[in-house]
Structure 1
Amino acid sequence: MKDKAIKYLIKNPLLHMGMIEPIRKDTVDILYADTDGVLIKELKSNAYMLSVDNFKKGQELLNSISNCNLIVSHQKFMVDYILNKFGLNEKLECYQAVYMDKVKLNLSKDLEIRQLDEDQIDVILTHYDKLSISEIKAILKDGNLFGGYKNGELMGFIGNHLEGSLGILEVFPQYRRLGYGAMLERYMINQMLEKGLIPFAQIEVNNEKSLALQTKLGFSISKESLFWIF
């Protein structure tokens, strides 16, 4: 099943890296994998992930799921069916950004970057409201959230989402436009490379600043978009 899943997904690695990496790390249940599609459940985030050749196959696979609060579809033609079937209300359309190189990036010494812990959860939640407290706690427990400090003061943070994507990037308002976001991201790219991971991130399609930053850092951007639905 694993080989079949990768064989299907690798036909478009940029679009599918968010599925390929969890499969490679064995953090998924592979529910279906064949020449016409793949359906997995990522076990850390409890997110379903779907990519199919056609609507009929997507419908068949989705009908095998009884409950779903979070799913990513790699085809637009499945979005409305997913929203209606599971009674979900929100969707985020994103491009996938993938750092395909194996070369680590040069780091600036302007920031001291170190792992955050649960003592800093209040300041994290003050500046970042896209994840629940339980998700932030789980990410902190995994050791996947890092803060950038200058003169002992926290400037912002970055980390890996539960399913492995690079994100949770937040530079505090008074410290923006100083290059700290790029410094934090370079650090995380290197961290992931050291672990043998492929750095990837999902960027909302209208976030031109973030797309420009990823391109500047050497990421390749998928031509097609994917949809997080919740």
Structure 2
Amino acid sequence: MDNTILSSLKTNPNKNVSVLGFFSNYPVKEFYIEGNSVLILGKSDHLWAHISSSSEVELSSLLARNYMKTKYYFSVEDWMIPIILSHGAVDWIMTTNRFILEKSIFIDLPKFNIVKIDKSYAQFIYDNSDYKDYISVEYIKDRLCKDISAGIFVNNILVAWGFTHDDGALGFLHVLEDYRNKGYGLDILLGLIQMKKKEKKPIFGNIVPDNFASTNLVTKLGFKIDCKTSWIKLK
């Protein structure tokens, strides 16, 4: 990433945590600057537009010149959505609450044996996902290969798992229905947090508002809500 842009993003690391995380994992394809605003394109499962801006005027100008580059918008703030939608009809929007865990918060070690998940489990994970409209088997394989993951096996069956999204956010937390209420979900999260702490990387996650179980879990561990953020695909 261009050093000037990187320095600008790092002046507000919490606000730009998703942008910084994404481009630590994937290369910049193109970038465009308008005043103090920047539009950066990078590809994981799709070619995503990442925006860092505090100006409606600057963002409007950026998109007027570059909206045709992609239909996918990554982790955008509420005020940005009408500007984005002025350039196309919405196919889908996924809105989440971002939670961040400060590095100083003490976290227990997991009690169960946590293992790295092989990419051969990607199809199984996809088949059990509640978010099939937003992910793919190839995306899951990519994330399992590129970053940390945590799985719990019972009788050689993968019963609980979690890993990271393309921006480094903790996610994909899932426990098979027959194995819930045993503490597996908590331990998956504890394992991922310990891995993040060891790597000295930001610890954050995005949770859809109606996922009360995950929201309660991260809140009990000391995560604080940071902002609301959305992913958008235009038709």
Q: Give the TM-score normalised by the residue count of structure 2.
A: 0.82
Listed as ranges, the matches of 1:116-155 within 5 Å are: 116-128=117-129, 129=132, 130-155=134-159
Identical counterparts, % of pairs: 22
Q: Deviations along 1:13-67, whole A, 9 cap, x unmatched?
A: 2x432224345x3745383568743433344454222132232211112234232
Instruction: Tell me, in whole angstroms, the C-alpha distance in 2 between the residues paired with 1:122 and 1:3.
Output: 39
Listed as ranges, the matches of 1:156-167 within 5 Å are: 156-167=160-171
Q: Which runs of 5+ in 1 are unaligned?
A: none
Q: 3-state DSSP class of the match of 2:153?
A: strand
What is the one-letter code of the residue matched to 1:17? V
Q: What's the CA shift for 1:219?
A: 1.2
Q: 3-state DSSP class of the match of 1:125?
A: helix
Q: 3-state DSSP class of the match of 2:172?
A: strand
Q: What's the CA shift for 1:201?
A: 0.7
The more displaced of 37-46 and 136-145 is 37-46
The more displaced of 90-99 and 80-89 is 80-89
Q: What's the CA shift for 1:91?
A: 0.8
> How many residues are aligned here?
223
What is the one-letter code of the residue matched to 1:209? A
Instruction: Tell me, in whole angstroms, the C-alpha distance in 2 between the residues paired with 1:86 and 1:166.
Output: 30
Q: Kindly tell me: are residues 73 and 162 of structure 1, through their superposed partners in 2, closer, same or farther at Cα, counting changes over 3 Å?
A: closer
Instruction: Tell me, in whole angstroms, the C-alpha distance in 1 between the residues paired with 2:63 and 2:20.
Output: 20
Q: Give the TM-score normalised by the residue count of structure 1.
A: 0.83
Contact 1:94-1:202 within 8 A present in 2 as well: yes
Instruction: Tell me, in whole angstroms, the C-alpha distance in 2 between the residues paired with 1:75 and 1:140.
Output: 28
1:174 to 170, 175, 178: 178
The more displaced of 165-174 and 122-131 is 122-131
Contact 2:42-2:49 within 8 A present in 1 as well: yes
State the partner residue of 1:41.
Answer: 41
Instruction: Tell me, in whole angstroms, the C-alpha distance in 2 between the residues paired with 1:33 and 1:95.
Output: 27
Listed as ranges, the matches of 1:58-137 within 5 Å are: 58-65=59-66, 66-102=68-104, 105-109=107-111, 111-128=112-129, 129=132, 130-137=134-141
Contact 2:35-2:58 within 8 A present in 1 as well: no
What is the one-letter code of the residue matched to 1:125? Y
The more displaced of 134-143 and 187-196 is 134-143
Contact 1:97-1:221 within 8 A present in 2 as well: yes
Q: Which runs of 5+ in 2 are unaligned?
A: none
Q: What's the CA shift for 1:97?
A: 0.8
Q: Kindly tell me: are residues 80 and 38 of structure 1, through their superposed partners in 2, closer, same or farther at Cα, counting changes over 3 Å?
A: same
